[in-house]
Amino acid sequence: MRRFNLALLATVALSTALTAVPAHAAAEGHRPLGIENCTATGCHFDVPAGTYDVKVLLGGDAGSSTSVSGETRRSLLPETAVAAGERTARSFTVNVRTPEGEPTGAEGTPGLDLVLGGSAPALADIKVTPARHTRQIFLVGDSTVCDQPGDPYSGWGQQLPQYLRKGVSVANYADSGESTVTYLSNPQLFATVQPLIRRGDLVLVQLAHNDKTTDEVTYRTNLETLVAGIREKGGEPVLVTPIVRRWFNSDGTLNNNTALLVNGLGVDHPAVTRSVAAAQDVPLIDLTAKTKSLVESLGVEGSKAIYLYNEKRDNTHTSVHGATVYAGLVRDELLAQHLVPKGLVRAG
């Protein structure tokens, strides 16, 4: 963690207006949890599982630049610059659960943990309150979507929250290694997600990378089962074609099979996903097409930074930079298709 701006330390020492109270008291209308729960590098709030609104006041005596992440490396607020002597307020909504990252992973730390980052972080104040009117965006996916537990990996779902404002939160239930088959059969996955879906919630589904041995009929049926299960709870399913793998042909285009997710049985996963979306009248985010266009435009060398080629010789999983870029593509589609109101989306 970079050296923290001294403005926070001063604020902590001087802040007496907020008093720490149990989470249940805050929920009953008492004072929100505040900056007394923070140290020089971050904040911890002893709250139960749920969804919380967070309002931060950024800035200090010197110029500052602050980002906020939380729980299992989720990017919640992009780096925000504030001029010397100024203060800037930002708000977001965060999902707190156990396990806090991948559904089949470690439980994580109880409560809400926030980490302050950026080139010169300065937090003047913070308030955390239970969210009362929030729309959830549930994510159903694999390792290219999930909240990855450690550097240098990051799923695009891990970066998506920073593009959203207070009033909508991301509940990322993507899990490494999952296919449409395992996501439906493992009780920690769809059987856990489905009861949480409320009317009006979005559920984005991107599963294909691990369906290497899934035949076309089964893959199609599994997608249809997920769509029906989401609609049964009043949610709105959104099918997402998978991000491409970084495998080039000699002419600079992506390989038709490995890169574009056609498995050994000849199943074209993106094509089947598009077909199911059309047949079921489900919104489609064609992330395959969008990431293909981007990766090919960057070329063999330029696209290495999107993936973990330099670090791990990995052409499937994205870096933090790549996941952020891909999350931006998802954000753009949520806006373009009017799936999330413009006022709840943060510009890139």
Residue 177 tokens, joined: 């290694």
- Rounded to an integer, what distance in angstroms lies between the CA atom of residue 254 and that of residue 259? 6
Residue 14 binned pLDDT confidence (cut-offs 50, 70, 90): very low
Residue 19 binned pLDDT confidence (cut-offs 50, 70, 90): very low
- Rounded to an integer, what distance in angstroms lies between the CA atom of residue 239 and that of residue 284? 5
* 21 has pLDDT over 60: no
Residue 12 binned pLDDT confidence (cut-offs 50, 70, 90): very low
* CB-CB contact of 260 with 315 (8 Å): no
The owner of tokens 């450690």 is: 150
**Residue spans per domain, the chain:** 6-130, 135-344
pLDDT at 20: 30
Q: What is the pLDDT of residues 49-83, one digit of tens each?
A: 999 999 999 999 999 999 999 999 999 999 999 99
pLDDT at 92: 98
* CB-CB contact of 279 with 245 (8 Å): no
- Rounded to an integer, what distance in angstroms lies between the CA atom of residue 112 and that of residue 92? 13
pLDDT at 30: 47
CATH code linked to domain 135-344: 3.40.50.1110
- Rounded to an integer, what distance in angstroms lies between the CA atom of residue 122 and that of residue 57? 9
- Rounded to an integer, what distance in angstroms lies between the CA atom of residue 33 and that of residue 23? 8
pTM of the model: 0.91
Domain 6-130 fold: Jelly Rolls (2.60.120)
pLDDT at 25: 38
* 213 has pLDDT over 60: yes
The owner of tokens 């929030």 is: 134
- Rounded to an integer, what distance in angstroms lies between the CA atom of residue 271 and that of residue 320? 28
Q: What is the pLDDT of residues 261-302, one digit of tens each?
A: 999 999 999 999 999 999 999 999 999 999 999 999 999 999
Residue 95 tokens, joined: 């999902």
Q: What is the pLDDT of residues 143-192, one digit of tens each?
A: 999 999 999 999 999 999 999 999 999 999 999 999 999 999 999 999 99
